[in-house]
Amino acid sequence: MANSKVCVLGAGSTKYGKLNESIIEIALNAAKDAIESAGITPKDIQAGYISNVFGVADKQVHMAPVIMSNLGISHVPGLTIESACGSGSVMFREAYANVAAGFYDCVLALGVEKVTHTGTVHSTTLFSYCSDFFYEGGNGASFPGLFASMARAYMNTHKATEEDLAHVAVKNHENGLLNPKAHVRKKITVDDVLKSPVVASPLKLLDCCPFSDGASATILCSEEFAKKSGRPYVEIIGSGRGASPAAVQGREDITTIPSTVAAARQAYKMAGVTPKDINFAEVHDCFTIAEVIDIEDLGFFPKGKAAHAVRDGATRLNGEIPINPSGGLKSKGHPIGATGVGQVVEVFEQFTGMAGERTVPNAEIALTHNFGATGASAAVHIFKKVDRK
């Protein structure tokens, strides 16, 4: 049935960090966890959607058929999707749309990346290919440099400080300590952030997320399939996608990301909710300034107020609007193709009683936000906890 409700029935994830297994082995580990979580078998899966960016670094492209074959379902069609750092959420939307349209009742949506083995210089070079390379990466404008420009513009416009940004990192590391699968489980202080080496002023090393390996997977299905399963599930109630000029230089205001604003507007409208209805959110915090800009663009705080709100504790687990209870990219890690899917895994765990000490109390509605590069592409999804009593 077209436009039917779509649910997340299962979710699984590897640890994020430096992993020794091959990219396919990493993907299969997450897939098996998600399949077991959903209480299904691979034979129940009717299509596979895989997000990946740098499979070539582990000598594997055309990845979806390889994963389907290794799951024992080589006859099941698979599709590999790339949208830079936003690949996971863009892929998740495609999987969602195909189930909503009635093409499939049950699909695998999986993101995976393995890049740490290439070394910092090579992996940084690979990441630069996600920019508008002719204008940016190819001329030395790295992602730290581009986000540093955004940070400087924001600080000058809104009288924010480097210390305000440091509070984002401190909060996300606090959350990451509660996540056994996080890449960087280390408590830090504002002073630690401010004294860490400068990467691109005003951003320091501890303002930046790590490169990570890892995979996250979800099982999406129709509401009818979910109800028949007898298992816990989460409903997807809103989905949106947006776009921005690929190069930062093409934007009128670099303290906002137009793709986020557009995607959020669509998702809120579809879900019939407002930012005030969101109980927690997983957002794209590749750098501390990104989280500050995100939570304004998503409507949680007025323009220019988010940095001060973070400093005042509004985004902590016990705050007004908890942001990145998983630890975010900053602490949980950033396996680029898996990041957006990992955000959904966090929502599933929060809503099905598996988040442990990082559980957001009484949460009913959550949002995930993931963008590519400096925000050239973005997707936002909104989820509702299902009361099965």
Encode 18-42 in three state secondary structure: CCCCCHHHHHHHHHHHHHHHHCCCH
Is residue 130 flagged as an active site residue? Answer: no
User: How far apart (Å, rounded) are the C-alpha atoms in residues 241 and 377?
Assistant: 8
Helix (H, G, I), strand (E, B) or coil at 368: strand
Helix (H, G, I), strand (E, B) or coil at 204: strand
Pairing mode of beta strands 214-222, 203-204: unpaired
User: How far apart (Å, rounded) are the C-alpha atoms in residues 275 and 366?
Assistant: 10
Both tokens of 372, joined, read: 């590519």
CB 92 within 8 A of CB 7: no
Catalytic residue among 183, 284, 334, 369: 334
Is residue 286 flagged as an active site residue? Answer: no
Both tokens of 19, joined, read: 């992993």
Catalytic residue among 85, 106, 208, 209: 85
User: How far apart (Å, rounded) are the C-alpha atoms in residues 388 and 231?
Assistant: 9
Q: Hunting for tokens 């986020």 — which residue is that?
A: 260
What residues are annotated to the active site?
85, 334
